[in-house]
Amino acid sequence: MSRIFGTDGVRGIANTELTSELAYNLGRAGAFVLTEGTHKPKILVAKDTRISGDMLEAALVAGILSVGAEAVILGVVPTPAVAHLTRKYGADAGVMISASHNPVEYNGIKFFDNRGYKLSDELEDKIQKTIEDGFVGVPSPIGKDLGKCHFEADGINKYMEHAKSTIATELTGLKVALDCANGAAYEVAVNAFKSLGAEVHVINNTPDGTNINENCGSTHPKALMEYVVREKCDVGFAFDGDADRCLAVDEKGNLINGDFILTICAKALKEKGQLKDDTLVVTVMSNLGLDIACKAEEIRTFKTKVGDRYVLEEMLKDGYVLGGEQSGHIIFLNHNTTGDGLVTALKVAEVIKEKNKTLSELASIMKELPQVLVNAKVPNHKKNIYLEDEEVVEAIKAVEDFPYYKSVGYGGLPNEEMEVELDAAYMDGNTLSIGAVAAIKDFANPVSIARRLSKEKVNNILVGEGAEKFAHKEGFERKNMLTDRAKIHYRNRVKEVREQEIKPYAGHDTVGIVCLDQQGKMTSATSTSGLFMKKKGRVGDSPIAGSGFYVDSSVGGASATGLGEDLMKGCISYEIVRLMAEGMHPQAACEKAVNQLDHRLKERRGHAGDLSLIAMNNKGEWGVATNIEGFSFAVATENQEPIVYLTKNKDGKCIHEVASQEWLDHYMKTRMAPLEEK
């Protein structure tokens, strides 16, 4: 059996991958492992609103009772409520049945220990081994020794009162819009804000078992952004299905993500003397703008691997009180042991009231910088900023998940049949292992699939249906990657090119990373949706080793973006690495390779497509070259704060200039501007 626990519990399609049998086994094994030696242990069980929750709850509880443990059923409550109530009730463990932000067909099972913390990998592995070993040594009591269950109806109210107690002000006069994602926050969030005096307006709070996260909540904030403006609200908050994350919307309808929220709250806590060591804990994928804003406020940022569990680990080590992720998983450690969407929303509302400022004014503390192509040198571990191969993938995933990057992942521009087909690749510079997928549909993060393929001895590059079958078998997340925004782009372009030959989309992007870690290991990864309105099944340079990417830890690495058909004609990423192996500096190698290919194509046929390359050698020296005007990229090094650059080719030499704030603002504004059909 492959590992059944992922980054956040056990997840899969309910009744297919996550079956009643598996839920029973998890309940039985989990109850035994987490309460071994405890007399009549007590385990809390809760769920979100998805229809499969009843089925899985019944099976899970049966497993818990089968080892003689008591099951306390909380009903529909947010995930952070389980963490809090496990401590409050003195329970031995807590279990949440939820697939968080995923579509209704998915569900998940997540355990908390008696302190309300997510389980370590070691404990999860112990639970799985208990199942695999056939429950050897696990008791099967009979008669009076069997476990009982009872329903705790007041648990949700106790959690609500706890959440309210985290702020020191009433919210009277504040007009608040809530998007409850038809999930676990649909009652408690509304009641909490109303009882604190806020004027509450609500959307997506009528769960029917099948509409959780459906075009709503924190993963689809557009409806809330429009609603806040239309109803003239002061602020809006969007939760996900289990309400462990929260994003905000300002009075102008702008999305305020987790990085902004963290910066706002860190400043507020620092001013009160409540921010331990003036330190904010974030992940390596926090926006570059957060670093700049925190530095200006004399707030230190401590960076971890991607994942709220790693944020929490670092917070606990030194007692830091605030940490989180761009996605809206925010941990206020003085109040809860996990991301808490309701507490986050209340904390932001508190700052608005106390400062007597609009959310847009508060959010102006930070400017979000574009992160398109990243070249990173890892610093000294004492500085706690590092990227390993896993973090390279997570960095790519963050871009894949952002719907406004039109040529990458979710929201990527479709092919001529209005389907989103994705290409991605991963390469390990130590082993030269490569994994790639091409023309894959309906999977959320193709770069993760590519990395998994790199571990195989053969069958490292899969396309179309073959890639999809592999991804499904390995349990990767299914997702419809075609957004409403992409559909508008498509329909507008159809009108523009009607009766014309389809051309590559202007502004085409690929996300590509070259990374060097503290041990000298180098990795590279890419992801793209390719050319706008491309032919079905078209494959560009991004998943092709030597063209879209190449890395060798003994030399360096490179990654490409532009017109793939032309980039492949020069095997240009490999060529740059070859030139670096001959002793050439990355900048000189990039310029030579780009200029030569550009010249060769123009000489042979009169024109060349877009060619842009980033590169880094094993010393951490970097270079960028392009044949277009204003190519943008970001650099983070040991001795340099993350900076966004623009580069242009002038007489064969590439000139890099730091992007102005005006350019950065315009970049994000144009990316996220509302669209209308022409």
Query: CA triplet 653, 658, 663: central angle to 5 degrees?
Result: 115
Joined together, the tokens standing for residue 414 give: 């479709």
Q: Which one, of 153, 69, 150, lies nearest residue 111 by Cα?
A: 69
Residues 484-518, buried b or exposed e (16+ Cβ, 10 A)? Answer: ebbeebbeebeeeeeeeeeebbeebbbbbbbbbbe
Q: Which one, of 110, 127, 107, lies nearest residue 15 by Cα?
A: 107
Query: CA triplet 238, 239, 242: central angle to 5 degrees?
Result: 170
Joined together, the tokens standing for residue 675 give: 């669209």
Return the DSSP state at 659. Answer: P
Sheet of 255-256: strands edge to edge?
Answer: 199-203, 175-179, 235-239, 246-249, 255-256
**558/551 Cα distance (integer angstroms):** 6
Q: How many CB atoms lie within 10 A of CB 375?
A: 26
**25/464 Cα distance (integer angstroms):** 35
**313/331 Cα distance (integer angstroms):** 11
Q: Which one, of 404, 47, 498, 15, lies nearest residue 241 by Cα?
A: 47
**423/463 Cα distance (integer angstroms):** 9
Q: How far is CA 142 from the centre of its chain?
A: 46
Joined together, the tokens standing for residue 448 give: 């993760």
Does 612 qualify as catalytic in the annotation?
Answer: no
Asked whether the beta carbons of 209 and 50 are under 8 A apart, the reply is yes
Asked whether the beta carbons of 377 and 620 are under 8 A apart, the reply is yes
Q: How many CB atoms lie within 10 A of CB 581?
A: 14
Asked whether the beta carbons of 421 and 536 are under 8 A apart, the reply is yes
Q: How far is CA 178 from the centre of its chain?
A: 22
Position 309, amino acid: R
**Longest Cα pair distance anywhere in the chain, in angstroms?**
88
- The DSSP bridge pattern shows strands 235-239 and 175-179 to be parallel
Joined together, the tokens standing for residue 294 give: 């925190």
DSSP labels for 82-125? HHHHHHHTT-SEEEEE--TTS-TTEEEEEEE-TTSPBPPHHHHH
Asked whether the beta carbons of 159 and 130 are under 8 A apart, the reply is no
Joined together, the tokens standing for residue 391 give: 């973090």
| Active-site residue, from 100, 327, 529, 553 | 100
Percent helix, strand, coil in the chain, to 5, is 35, 25, 40
Asked whether the beta carbons of 383 and 291 are under 8 A apart, the reply is no
Position 104, amino acid: V
Position 103, amino acid: P
Q: Which one, of 294, 235, 287, 246, lies nearest residue 270 by Cα?
A: 294
Crossing angle (nearest 10°) for helices 389-401 and 446-453:
150
For the annotated catalytic residues, the residue numbers are 100
